[in-house]
Structure formats: C-alpha cells, structure tokens
Amino acid sequence: MPDLAEAPFLDIFDPDLDADPEPIYAALREETAVARTPLGAAVLRRDAIHRLLGDRRLISSIPHLVRLQGAGDGPVGGLLESSVIAVDGDDHTRLRRLVSRSFTPSAANRHRPLMRSLVQALVNGFAVDAGGRGRCEFVSELADHYPVRVICSVLGVPDEDHEQFGTWAESITYMLSLELSAHLDEVVHAVQALGDYVTDLVEERRRNPRDDLLTSLVQASEDGDRLSNDELLSMVGGLLFAGVDTTRNQLGLAMHTFCEHPDQWELLRTRPELTPAAVNETMRLFGAVPGIPRVTLEDVEVEGWCIPAGTIVFLSLASANRDPRHFDDPMRFDITAEREPHLTFGGGPHYCLGANLAKAEMEEALLVLATSMPDLRLHGEPAWRTSTGIGGPTHLPLSFAAG
C-alpha cells in the first residue's frame, strides 16, 4: 500500500485554489482520491469522503488545530471541551441525544414566519432611486444582520442585544480558522463576554421559562441527565460560530450565483416551489464550507493509500460536490436538476446539528428576495473572504427592478 508521502501534492494555501478551485480539484480527482497537503492529507472523491464522514476512526480536528495555535487552554479551550462540534465518542452522542429534539425539521419550521418577517423588514430598508431601480450592498445591509437576528430571536435573546451577539459571533468564528493565534485576544474577550451574558440568561430562563430555544436547551433531559452550564454555553457558542457565519456567507454566495444565472433567478421568482431545490443546488456548487478537517485515530486506508494515525485529513466537500462520478455536468447550475444529496452539511456523527434551521433560513430568505428583487444583477465588483475557512462575499453590490 503506497504511503501518503508518495501521494500527489495539493497546496491548500495556494491563492489559485481560493480563486478557482475546480480546475485544480478536477485534475487531481481524476488522478487520485488522496493528496498530500502541507498539514497532512486531503480526500477528493465523493465516495471516499462520504464513507469517511461516518468513520469513527476520524475525529474532529478543531481541538487539535486550536492547540497547534497555542489556544488549547483558557476560555477558548474550555468552550471547546464541551462543544458538540469538537467532542467525539460517547460525549458527543450524549450531547446530541439531549438536544436533538430542539433541532428537528418541525422545530425549525415553526420559526419560518419569524424568518420571513425579519428578511422582509431588511429588504424594505433598501433605498430605491428615482430611476426605478433598487440598490443595496447585500452583505452589510442584509447578510450581516439576518442570520444573527434569526439565531437570537430563536434563542430568546432580547432585540436590543442582537447586534452585540453579531459582534461576538464575528470574533468567535476565528476559532474555526488557522488565524486564531493572530486574533486570540479578540476571541478570548468575545468568549468571556458571551459566557457572562449566557450565564445570566440561563439563570433567568430557569426562573422564568419561555417558549424559546434556550429554555428548551435548559430543560432538555433524558433519564435525569441535563446539560451543564458549561455545555449550555458551548451549545450557544456553537450556534453562533457554526451557524451565523456559515449562513451569512451561504446567502451571499447564493445571491452572487443567481446574478450570474439570471434565467434561474427568474425561474425561482415564478416557481417558488423550487426554493428548496435552489438552496440545495447553491450549496452543492458553491458551499460556504469548502471542506471539513478531521484527525485519524489510527492508520486508515483510502482507495489504496495509507493515511497514518495522527494525520490531519481535509475532506474536500467542494470537490465531492462536483465529482462527475456522481453529478452529470457538475458545473452546471440548475435548480430543476435532480441531484444526489450534497455533502455541505457534512455527514456521520458530526452532521450539522443546525442543518434544518439553516435550510429554513435560506429558503425563507430566497422566497422573499426573489419576489422583492426581480431582474437581479451585480452593480459593481464583489470582494471575497476565504481566510477563516468559511468562504463568501464581504462586499456584494446588487441592483434590481424596483416594484
């Protein structure tokens, strides 16, 4: 069995990979399922990635990457010790079992009217010029606000504190990146401030339960088992750094994609029943999360290659979602196409806990936006961010026909 050191090399820090990854992935994917990277290994084919997502010999790499950046102790390490996205084995199973009822499709669907009203209010704030066209900078005017307001409203955070939660979410996102050490003071401050706030809010919900997600998490139990205060903080923190930023970027990617495919935008506007498919197709072709890092607990064989124990393995979701072995004409954006499920929400034990909530958010947003913003087009050059490990536009100027 060939050793990983003999595998073709993939420079995951190459700017060309950020700018246009598919030509690089396509060439490597035809040659091999496994590539060598500066940090360990990358897996590129959908079949192999799908299997490895459910393979318990691979565990979350988040604690390892945090320790490599000198942040394994203190508030950051403490938050991750009991976070559902960072723990594995029996601890992970227990946490998901306790909270799973709060994240079912029906639990997410009950918040759809709220989502619709929030996005409609933001759209109503767009300026309309005298020429009959509306314009907005989509990120700062909508995407920066909508997901955090949804999460905060669902949790039961008072309206006046939503923007503060957005600031903490922006900082805490660096925990999932290779830029943590450069932003460590900022992240520590956000974790501590969030911890103080959530501790007070949890105590208030214990005294005065409400019909919100935080109360559900406080009351979640099975056979007398409940989430500890640290676990409650980690669950709220996880919703922020795994939910807000990904949804914000995914929504921006969707709007940019539709600008490049105006026929699909018009189709969505006239056939709103295609909205779930539109969300899936956007997430398949342009997912905000390009891949998932894992660590091998023991030697793992992948299509003839030996990946040694202790290796950081990057499961390339972007490559898997465009694998021509599974998707006909994979680079074609078509919201009517029948496709295999995308892997952008991951899979296996760590399948995204908030996937149903995120899908509902995206669907309700696109329903309102397609109706409110016909003849969508770019009104300038976008700017992009990929440095945190979650990709998307930081600046997206749009114009549309005003009603």
User: How does pLDDT run across 240-264, given as a tens digit for each residue?
Assistant: 877 788 999 999 999 999 999 999 9
Using an 8 Å Cβ cutoff, are 345 and 99 in contact? no
Q: What is the mean pLDDT of the chain?
A: 91
What distance in Å separates the CA atoms of residue 234 and residue 157, rounded to the nearest whole number? Answer: 16
The vertex-296 CA angle with 61 and 70, nearest 5°, equals 35
> How is residue 262 written in tokens?
């105006």
**What pLDDT score was predicted for residue 19?**
78
**What pLDDT score was predicted for residue 143?**
95
Q: What percent of the chain has pLDDT over 90?
A: 69
CATH class of the region 8-31+63-292+321-401: mainly alpha
Domain boundary assignment for the chain: 8-31+63-292+321-401
**What pLDDT score was predicted for residue 130?**
44
pLDDT means per 10 residues, the chain with 403 residues, are: 89 84 93 95 97 96 85 82 88 90 93 96 74 84 94 92 90 84 90 91 92 90 83 86 87 98 97 98 95 95 96 96 96 96 94 94 97 94 80 94 75
> How is residue 168 written in tokens?
């903490």
Nearest to 13 by CA among 346, 331, 290, 244: 290
